[in-house]
Structure 1
Amino acid sequence: MGNLLSLKDVQLYYDHVYALKGVSIDVNEGETVALIGANGAGKSSILRAITGLKGIRSGSIRYDGQSIDKAGPDVIVRMGISMVPEGRRVFPLMSVRDNLLMGAFTRTDKAEIRQSLEMVLARFPRLKERYTQAAGTMSGGEQQMLVIGRALMARPRLLLLDEPSLGIAPKLVQDIARSIVAINREDKVSVLLVEQNSRMALRISQRAYAIATGKVALSGNSAELLEDSRVKDLYLGGEV
């Protein structure tokens, strides 16, 4: 299992305010890695740095052995990294079908795009039921399935998920969690998961990093962190 993504001593600022203070994390091929921590800790800033949406001040970011520090977001998508942003950003007036096809905008292989579309609809049967429906009329959980499916249409090797459970009904949170596990295990897509629902994140990932004030506070095996007293007190609200 080789290294797929590596951040080393990454520093990132918003104007003159530190967002990341020397963050180092790794994602190996085939892994699901979770980033947990309080709101404002810097988790989403890590994803923005990886995707080229925010330039870093110093440090390095390498993907599949290549430096992507200076690469633009479109180049990074073509290299095999897709992100599901926080907030379920669908195109509300467009159909489910057209939203999904927007995820394949960098691809020209029409026959394989159709295969990807069929795969996504098989992964999320509810999207097949809503195929011609305007995305803005769907529930929050259905929209979350849609934006994950749209990201998969880019055929990524690495999927970045930013708070996929935020504002979702508990029943659908379970469905989203099962989908993430299936995407990783069955579709062979590596996953970097940013999540305030730390219990869920630790249960579906292999490794995790706890982020606090722009730094890595703790890291290790997810099952072990789930039982770590420091993680329980800081991120899980006491006993699990």
Structure 2
Amino acid sequence: MEKLLTFDDVELYYDHVYALKGVSLEVREGETVALIGANGAGKSSILRAITGLKKPRTGEIRFRGRRIDGVGPDEIVRMGISMVPEGRRVFPYMTVRDNLLMGAFTRADKAEIADSLERVLTRFPRLKERYAQQAGTMSGGEQQMLVIGRALMARPKLLLLDEPSLGIAPKLVQDIARSIVAINRDEKVSVLLVEQNSRMALRISQRAYALTTGSIALSGQSAELLTDERVKRLYLGGEV
């Protein structure tokens, strides 16, 4: 598989405090890669750097061979990267329909936008049921489906997911996990998944990186990391 995203020796600071210290990773075409680790380990900082929300002090970020550190967030979306932020962040007083259409703000192809909308509603039938409902009145799990669907409306090549299971009922966490697998498999969208639910992240990804205090502590095939004693002890709380 060809490299889609490369993150090469990146250092990122907030004022004088480092968030990432010499981090290198990659996402290849067609795969799901998980980033696991505790709060403050640097997982979300990686996503902020990729999306242009925070410029690294040193290092390079490349997407499809083009250097993107220093490129604005709107241009990065146009290039094919969409992010689902932590905490869902729907437009609460707008309908499900209008929230979804906001995800297509970089597109002008009305017929294809309509096709994308139908695909999202097929992927998430509950959104079709809530189509005219204000987004702020829906449950947390439904809102998570909505923001994933909104991100898909941009037709991304790479989907960034920041803690999609946070604050979601266990049954809906399973639905979200299945949706991520299906999006990667059926839509041919590569996924970079940030998750504190390390078991779920490792089970639905092909490869993973484990972070600690701004650095990569471990990396490898997700199936192997699930049985790695160090991962069990540090990230999975014992037996899997």
Counterpart-to-counterpart distance in 1, 2:5 and 2:68? 10
In the TM superposition, what whole-angstrom CA distance separates every residue of 1:114-159 from its partner, at most 9, and x where no partner exists?
0000000000000000000000000000000000000000000000
- Over the matched positions of the two proteins, sequence identity in percent amounts to 83
- Residue number in structure 1 paired with 2:46: 46
Name the aligned partner's letter for residue 93 of structure 1.
Y
In the TM superposition, what whole-angstrom CA distance separates every residue of 1:161-208 from its partner, at most 9, and x where no partner exists?
000000000000000000000000011000000000000000000000
- Residue number in structure 2 paired with 1:227: 227
- Residue number in structure 1 paired with 2:173: 173
- Residue number in structure 2 paired with 1:55: 55
Give the match's secondary structure for 2:159: strand
Unaligned runs of 5+ in 1: none
Matched, 1:142 2:129: no
In the TM superposition, what whole-angstrom CA distance separates every residue of 1:88-116 from its partner, at most 9, and x where no partner exists?
10000000000000000000000000000
1:160 deviation in Å? 0.1
Q: Aligned-pair RMSD on alpha carbons?
A: 0.3
1:70 deviation in Å? 1.1
- Residue number in structure 2 paired with 1:82: 82
- Residue number in structure 1 paired with 2:102: 102
Q: TM-score, normalised by structure 1?
A: 1.00
Counterpart-to-counterpart distance in 1, 2:115 and 2:39? 38
Unaligned runs of 5+ in 2: none
- Residue number in structure 2 paired with 1:125: 125
Counterpart-to-counterpart distance in 1, 2:6 and 2:94? 36
- Residue number in structure 2 paired with 1:201: 201
Counterpart-to-counterpart distance in 2, 1:228 and 1:164? 24
Give the match's secondary structure for 2:220: strand
In the TM superposition, what whole-angstrom CA distance separates every residue of 1:76-95 from its partner, at most 9, and x where no partner exists?
00000000000010000000
Name the aligned partner's letter for residue 168 of structure 2.
I
Following TM superposition, the consecutive aligned residue runs of length 4 or more in structure 1 with deviations greater than 2 angstroms are: none
Q: How does 1:154-165 map to 2 (within 5 A)?
A: 154-165=154-165
Counterpart-to-counterpart distance in 1, 2:157 and 2:208? 19
In the TM superposition, what whole-angstrom CA distance separates every residue of 1:35-68 from its partner, at most 9, and x where no partner exists?
0000110000000000000010000000000000
- Residue number in structure 1 paired with 2:218: 218
Counterpart-to-counterpart distance in 1, 2:25 and 2:118? 34
Counterpart-to-counterpart distance in 1, 2:182 and 2:239? 28
Name the aligned partner's letter for residue 14 of structure 2.
Y
- Residue number in structure 2 paired with 1:183: 183
Counterpart-to-counterpart distance in 1, 2:133 and 2:70? 39
Counterpart-to-counterpart distance in 1, 2:138 and 2:25? 36
Name the aligned partner's letter for residue 138 of structure 1.
M
Give the match's secondary structure for 2:101: helix
- Residue number in structure 1 paired with 2:192: 192
